[in-house]
A and B are shown apart, each in its own frame.
Chain A
Amino acid sequence: MKLLFTFLLSITFLFAADATLEINKKIDAYSSFGVEDSSTQRSDLSKKFYRSLVADINVLSLFNVDKHYFTSDFDSNSINVENKKLNYVLKFDLISNDNQSLLIKIKLMELGEVRLDKSYKISKSKMYVFVAHAIASDINDHFGAPSVDWMKGKIILSRLTKPGNSQILVTDYSLTYQHVIINGGLNVFPKWANKEQSAFYFTALDTLRPTLFKVDVRSGNKTKVVDSDGMMICSDVNSDGSKLLLTMAPDDQPDIYLYDVNSQTKERLTSYSGIDVSGQFMEDETIAFVSNRLGYPNIFSKKIGSSAVEQLVYYGKSNASCSAHNEYIVYKARESSNAFSRNTFNLHLISTKTDFIRRLTATGLNEFPRFSHDGDAILFIKNYKQQSSIGIIRLKHNKNFLFPLRVGKIQSMDW
C-alpha cells in the first residue's frame, strides 16, 4: 500500500514541478486516514490535541481525513471498529504530568500492523500544538512526501490592537499557540533574523524617527540597528542572516538599501524619485521589489550593482507587494480600484522562466504573501468580513487553508 501510495505521490509531484501550473486533477482517491484518542486519561486537552492533529494531517493534503472522534486502547494494536474501513489510523496517548509537561506517544496503524511508533515530550502543555505539527511532519516524511518543515516553525506577527498600538506575537502557523513577545507601542513589520528563529527585527514607529531594532529571543536584549526619517522597514533577510534589504527614506525618498549585518554598512540599491519598496532577495544576486515607476505599483527586478531594472509582472492594475523564492514570485494584485467600495486583492504566482500566471486566491483582501524557506507553501494575510486570518497555500497540492485571528488585525508577519 505504501509503495503504491509513494508511486502515485511521485507521479503527482513530477507533473507539478512547475509551480505556476495549476493541478486540477490529481490522484482520484486519496488514502483514508483517521486519528484515535487512545489516551488513558481522556481530557479537554486530549480532545484539543485530537483536533489539532486532524487539522494538521488535513493540511498535509495526502489523505482523506476522517474527522469523527473515536477512542481506543493504546497498548493493544487494535483500532476502533468504526475505523476498520480506513487505510491508516493514528493512535495517540497523551499523558499530562504534574509539572505541566506532556508525554505523547503515537502509533501509525495499517492493516493491523504498526508502521510508525514514536514518543514526544514537551515541557509546557500550552505548546501542545507544536507536537501535533511535529507528528504531522513525521507522518509526511514517513510517506516520502516533500518536506513540510515549515509546519514546525514559528510565525512572528504584528497585531494592531487599537489605532497607534500593536503587539508582536510568536505563534504557530495555525495561530493555536499565541505568545505576546512585545506589548504596547506601535511596532510593526517583524522579521525573523535567521533560520533558527533565535532573533527578530522589527520597526518601532513611536520613536523620534522610525527605528529598526533587533531582539534576541533567548536573552531578551533589544538593540538598535539603524533608523531613518520617514520609513524604516526590514523587508528581507538573506539565507545566512548576514544581509538585510531595508526600505529607508533618509532623503524623504523611499528607496531600497542593502545592509551588511557584520560591518553595519549600507548600500543604496535604488534611486528612483517615486516609490521603491519591499526588496526581496532572489537567486543570482538579484532582488525583486515594488515600484511605481510606471505610474502605478508593480513588481520589478534588478541585479545588485547594476542600474538596469526589469519589469517582472505584466498582469494586474496595482501590484503592491511580493515575495520571491528562487525563480518564483508571488505578488498581490488589486482586482478593483475604487475609493468607496469593496476592493478585492488576489495573490498570483509567476516564474521568471515561464510566461504562466497562476491565480492563488479568489475572494477578499489577500495580501502580504511570504514563501516558506523551502518554497513549498505561501503564508499570507486574508482580511474578509471583519475577520483577519493567516492563510496557507500548498502550491503543489492546489489547496488553501485559513486560520482566523480572534482579536485584532494582522499588520504583517514572517515565518
Chain B
Amino acid sequence: MKKIILSTTVLALLLFTGCGSAPTIDETQENATDANAQDANANNSETIASDETVIDENSNANADSNEMTMSGLEGKMQTVTFEFDKFKVQANQVEKVEANVELAQGDANTYMIKLEGNCDEWGSDEYNYALGLKRAKTIKQTMISKGVNASRITMVSYGESNPTCTDKSESCWSNNRRVDFKLLP
C-alpha cells in the first residue's frame, strides 16, 4: 500500500530591488509581494517564488500466503535475453519461453502475467523504452500463439532503469537486455 506524505513548504521568494533598498516580503502572500515590489518604486524589481512539495512513495508490502505461492511460481519463470538493439527471440531462448508458457498454463493459470521489457545502459531516451516494449510484445505474441489468453498478459517497459547488474561488462549488458516474467493476482 502506498504511503504518501505531503508537506508543502514555501522554499524561496526572491525580491530584486533598486539600489539601496530591499523591501520586506510577506512570504505567505505572493500577490502582496508583487505589490510591495511595485510600491518600492525600484528601478529593477522582480519577484521569483518557488513552492515545493515532498512526496514519499516508498511502499510497505505485506505478503500473505497467496502472495508467497505466487512468488514461488514467479521464481520459476525464466528471464529471456535479447541481442544488442534487437527484439527478435533468439533460438537459444525459445526453450525458456516455452517453459514459461507451460507454467503459465499450468500451476500459474490463475494469475495475470506481467512482461517487463528491459534494455542495457546505452541510452535513456524514449526509444530505449520502446525497444524494451517491443521485446515484451514479441514474447506476448509468442505466448498467445501457444494458447495463453491475451487478456491475462500486461506489459511494461523499464528501459534502462531496472538493470540486474551495473558492471561495465559484456555479460552484464547482455543480461540487462531481457524480458522478465512477473505474476499478478
A in complex with B:
yes
Smallest beta-carbon distance A5→chain B, Å: 20
Query: Per a CB cutoff under 8 Å, which of A127, A163, A206, A367 touches B163?
Result: A163
Q: Compute how far the CA of A367 lies from the CA of B126 in the bound complex, rounded to whole angstroms.
A: 11
Chain B residues whose C-beta falls within 8 Å of the C-beta of A219 in the assembled complex? 8, 53
Query: Per a CB cutoff under 8 Å, which of A119, A235, A339, A367 touches B22?
Result: A119
CB interface residues, A 133-183, toward B, < 8 Å: 134, 138, 152, 154, 160, 163-164, 166, 170, 179-183
Give the bracket for the number of chain A residues in contact with chain B.
35 or more
Known contacts A160-B161, A277-B130; A179 and B11 CB within 8 A of each other? yes
* A406 at interface by CB-CB < 8 Å: no
Contact A218 B56, beta carbon cutoff 8 Å: no
Interface string of A90-125 (1 = CB under 8 A from B): 000000000000010000000000000111111110
Q: How many residue-residue contacts, CB under 8 A, span A and B?
A: 209
* A379 at interface by CB-CB < 8 Å: no
Contact B161 A249, beta carbon cutoff 8 Å: no
Q: Compute how far the CA of A338 lies from the CA of B4 in the bound complex, rounded to whole angstroms.
A: 43
Query: Per a CB cutoff under 8 Å, which of B25, B154, B157 touches A208?
Result: B154
Known contacts A252-B133, A275-B134; A230 and B155 CB within 8 A of each other? yes
CB interface residues, B 3-54, toward A, < 8 Å: 4, 6-8, 10-22, 25, 27, 43-44, 46, 48, 50-54
* A185 at interface by CB-CB < 8 Å: yes
Contact B12 A119, beta carbon cutoff 8 Å: no
* A315 at interface by CB-CB < 8 Å: no
Contact A186 B58, beta carbon cutoff 8 Å: no
Known contacts A122-B14, A186-B158, A381-B124; A254 and B53 CB within 8 A of each other? no
Contact A180 B124, beta carbon cutoff 8 Å: no
Query: Per a CB cutoff under 8 Å, which of A127, A163, A277 touches B126?
Result: A277
Smallest beta-carbon distance B137→chain A, Å: 5
Chain B residues whose C-beta falls within 8 Å of the C-beta of A124 in the assembled complex? 11-12
CB-nearest residue of chain A to B137: A252
Contact B123 A181, beta carbon cutoff 8 Å: no
Smallest beta-carbon distance B60→chain A, Å: 11
Smallest beta-carbon distance A199→chain B, Å: 10
Known contacts A184-B59, A222-B4, A320-B123; A120 and B16 CB within 8 A of each other? yes
Q: Compute how far the CA of A215 lies from the CA of B51 in the bound complex, rounded to whole angstroms.
A: 12
Contact B48 A254, beta carbon cutoff 8 Å: no
* B164 at interface by CB-CB < 8 Å: yes
* A2 at interface by CB-CB < 8 Å: no
Known contacts A119-B19, A130-B48, A134-B16; A166 and B133 CB within 8 A of each other? no
Chain B residues whose C-beta falls within 8 Å of the C-beta of A218 in the assembled complex? 8, 51, 53
Contact B14 A332, beta carbon cutoff 8 Å: no
Known contacts A184-B58, A343-B122; A297 and B127 CB within 8 A of each other? yes
Query: Per a CB cutoff under 8 Å, which of B51, B52, B122, B161 touches A188?
Result: B161
CB-nearest residue of chain A to B54: A181
Chain B residues whose C-beta falls within 8 Å of the C-beta of A189 in the assembled complex? 126
Smallest beta-carbon distance B162→chain A, Å: 4
Contact A154 B19, beta carbon cutoff 8 Å: no
Smallest beta-carbon distance B76→chain A, Å: 21
Q: Compute how far the CA of A273 lies from the CA of B17 in the bound complex, rounded to whole angstroms.
A: 57
Contact B20 A367, beta carbon cutoff 8 Å: no
Known contacts A122-B14, A185-B59, A411-B124; A252 and B155 CB within 8 A of each other? yes
Chain B residues whose C-beta falls within 8 Å of the C-beta of A222 in the assembled complex? 4, 55
Smallest beta-carbon distance A52→chain B, Å: 14
* A412 at interface by CB-CB < 8 Å: yes
Smallest beta-carbon distance B173→chain A, Å: 7
Chain A residues whose C-beta falls within 8 Å of the C-beta of B158 in the assembled complex? 164, 186, 205
CB interface residues, B 159-185, toward A, < 8 Å: 159, 161-164, 166, 170, 173-174, 184
Chain B residues whose C-beta falls within 8 Å of the C-beta of A247 in the assembled complex? 126, 129-130
Q: Compute how far the CA of A134 lies from the CA of B47 in the bound complex, rounded to whole angstroms.
A: 11
* A257 at interface by CB-CB < 8 Å: no
* A88 at interface by CB-CB < 8 Å: no
Contact A205 B156, beta carbon cutoff 8 Å: yes
Query: Per a CB cutoff under 8 Å, which of A122, A343, A410 touches B13?
Result: A122
Which of A122, A130, A247, A411 has most B Cβ within 10 Å?
Answer: A122
Contact A119 B161, beta carbon cutoff 8 Å: no
Q: Compute how far the CA of A80 lies from the CA of B130 in the bound complex, rounded to whole angstroms.
A: 58
Smallest beta-carbon distance A152→chain B, Å: 7
Chain B residues whose C-beta falls within 8 Å of the C-beta of A131 in the assembled complex? 14
CB interface residues, B 109-146, toward A, < 8 Å: 122-131, 133-134, 136-137, 140
Q: Compute how far the CA of A253 lies from the CA of B133 in the bound complex, rounded to whole angstroms.
A: 8
* Chain B residues close to A by CB (< 8 Å): 4, 6-8, 10-22, 25, 27, 43-44, 46, 48, 50-59, 83-85, 122-131, 133-134, 136-137, 140, 154-159, 161-164, 166, 170, 173-174, 184
6 chain-A/chain-B pairs, Cβ below 8 angstroms: A117-B19, A163-B161, A179-B11, A183-B58, A231-B129, A339-B83
* Chain A residues close to B by CB (< 8 Å): 103, 117-124, 127, 130-131, 134, 138, 152, 154, 160, 163-164, 166, 170, 179-189, 205-206, 208-210, 215-220, 222, 229-231, 233, 235, 247, 249, 252-254, 275, 277-278, 290, 292, 297, 318, 320-321, 332, 337-340, 343, 345, 365, 367-368, 381, 410-412
